[in-house]
Chain A
Amino acid sequence: MNKARTNPLNTAAMHGALILYTLIALFPVFVILINSFKTRKAIFREPLAMPDADSFSLIGYQTVMKQGDFFLYFQNSMIVTVASLFFVLLFGAMAAFALSEYRFKGNMLMGLYLALGIMIPIRIGTVAILEMMVATGLVNSLWALILVYTAQGLPLAVFILSEFMRQVSDDLKNAGRIDGLSEYTIFFKLVLPLVRPAMATVAVFNMIPIWNDLWFPLILAPSEEVKTLTLGSQVFIGQFVTDWNAVLSALSMAILPVLALYVIFSRQLIRGITSGAVK
Chain B
Amino acid sequence: MQKPRIRWHIAVFLAPAVLVYTAVMIFPLFNTLRLSLFSKVDQERVYVGLQNFQTLFGDPVWSEQFWNALGNNFWFFLIHMLVQNPIGIALAAILSHPRLRFAALYRSAIFIPTILSFVIVGFAWKLILSPIWGIAPGMLDAVGLKSLFAPWLGKEEYALTTLALISVWQFVGIPMMLIYAALLSIPEEVLEAGEIDGITGMSAFWKIKLPLILPSIGIISILTFVGNFNAFDLIYAAQGALAGPDFSTDILGTFMYRTFFGFQLQLGDPHMGSAIAGAMFAIILVGVCIYLFGIQTRMRRYQL
Binding site for B on A (CB under 8 A): 1-2, 4-6, 10-11, 14-15, 17-19, 21-22, 24-26, 28-29, 31-32, 43-44, 47-48, 87, 90-92, 94-95, 97-99, 102, 104, 110, 113-114, 116-117, 119-132, 147-148, 150-152, 154-155, 158, 182-184, 187, 208, 211-215, 218-219, 230, 233-234, 237, 244, 247-248, 251, 254-255, 258-259, 261-262, 266, 269-270, 273-276, 278-279
Contact = CB atoms under 8 A, between A and B. Distances in A.
A251 B226 contact: no
B200 to A, nearest CB: 5
Contacts of A29: 112-113, 116, 124
Contacts, number: 275
B261 A219 contact: yes
8 contacts: A29-B124, A32-B120, A110-B18, A125-B277, A219-B261, A258-B116, A269-B111, A270-B104
B108 A266 contact: yes
B16 A273 contact: no
Nearest to B219: A279
B98 interface: yes
A129 B32 CA distance: 8
Contact of B97 (A14, A104, A114, A116): A14
B119 A4 contact: no
A124 B252 CA distance: 11
Q: Which of A1, A97, A124 has the most CB of B within 10 A?
A: A124
B274 interface: yes
Given A120-B284, A258-B116, 10 more contacts: A17-B91, A119-B226, A124-B280, A129-B24, A148-B24, A151-B21, A212-B117, A234-B237, A251-B124, A274-B180
Given A25-B169, A251-B123, A102 B10 contact: yes
Nearest to A28: B124
Contacts of B256: 126
Interface stretch (B55-63, B70-78, B147-155, B228-236): B228-236
A230 B32 contact: no
A1 B98 CA distance: 9
A262 B232 contact: no
Closest 4 pairs between A and B when the two form their complex, measured CB to CB? A125-B28, A128-B31, A95-B17, A128-B28
B302 interface: no
B14 A94 contact: yes
A104 to B, nearest CB: 6
B255 interface: no
